[in-house]
Amino acid sequence: MTTATLLLCRTEAKSLEFQRAVETKVGHGVETIISPAFRIEDIETKPAKTSYDHLIFTSANGALRAGQLGLRSISTVFCVGPASASKARALGFEAIDVGGDVNELTSTIKTQNLKGSLLHVSGEHVAGDLIGDLGQANIQVERLVAYRQVPLPPTTEFSNCLESGAPKVLPFFSPRATLILEGVNAGSNTYIIAMSEAVADCLGDRCKFDITIAQSPNFRAMLDATCAKLVS
């Protein structure tokens, strides 16, 4: 049985969901400390129109805000992964889950020979340059910034565990989540699970310890990599 602590810095709901998935996979309870790296804050905005031929979601928050703002998609909605696709479908959109990262999303859209208007509903900070890359392929996309991620400091319990020499596993699902390491000196036996190369690159010199990059940029691969490290 693992003695490592699982440190989670997603939102409370997403952290609890991941904790349950980990405990189900390893078959027992896992000591877990949750300290969200940021909170989601809606941005007051109004779309130029409410109906587009296609919508693009790079997060579940983008899908949620689209629903709240009354946006409609005449045809397909393109989603970066299962979380955004699940939220989109729950809101009544016909969603395609590309099952990858922003690069995979961009590549998928380029192959669709799309016609009409496209809108990307996003937060203030985005990974990659989806609109720029699609623009180079003569696919014009509008962007609606509908929410922001407000950084939060780590809790004392989270910081104390991270700075200790005790074994701990810390999964990062996004580049911005790594901001929680600012001002914290990670101790020995710190094992980082990064969702992608982009996430690992954001760590820079803030973590000089073990970093594992998930085989694919999705929930299942992150779960597998995290559990493998917890029980090793």
Tens of pLDDT, residues 142-189: 999 999 999 999 999 999 999 999 999 999 998 889 989 888 888 889
Q: Are residues 88 and 171 in the same domain?
A: no
Q: Which residues, including other chains, have CB under 8 Å from residue 227's CB and lie 6 or more apart? A: 22, 25, 26
Output b/e per residue, 150-183; b: 16+ Cβ within 10 A: eeeebeeebbebbeeebbbbbbbbbbbbbbbbee
Q: Give the number of domains in the chain.
A: 2
Domain boundary among 87, 119, 149: 149
**Is residue 124 located within the same domain as residue 178?**
no
Same domain, 211 and 127: no
**CATH code, domain carrying 166:** 3.40.50.10090
Is the same domain home to 95 and 128? Answer: yes
Domain end marker among 115, 149, 183: 149
| pLDDT attached to residue 128 | 77
Output the pLDDT for position 142. 94
Q: Dmax over Cα atoms in the chain, in whole Å? A: 56
Q: What is the pTM of this model?
A: 0.83
Q: Residue 115 is part of which domain span?
A: 40-149
Residues 50 and 67 in one domain: yes
Same domain, 128 and 102: yes
Average pLDDT score over residue span 53-58? 94
Check whether residue 142 and residue 55 sit in a common domain: yes
- In tens, the pLDDT along 101-126 reads 788 889 999 999 888 999 999 999 88
Residues 166 and 211 in one domain: yes
Of 94, 120, 149, the last residue of a domain is: 149
The per-residue pLDDT for 1 is: 42
One domain for residues 30 and 45: no
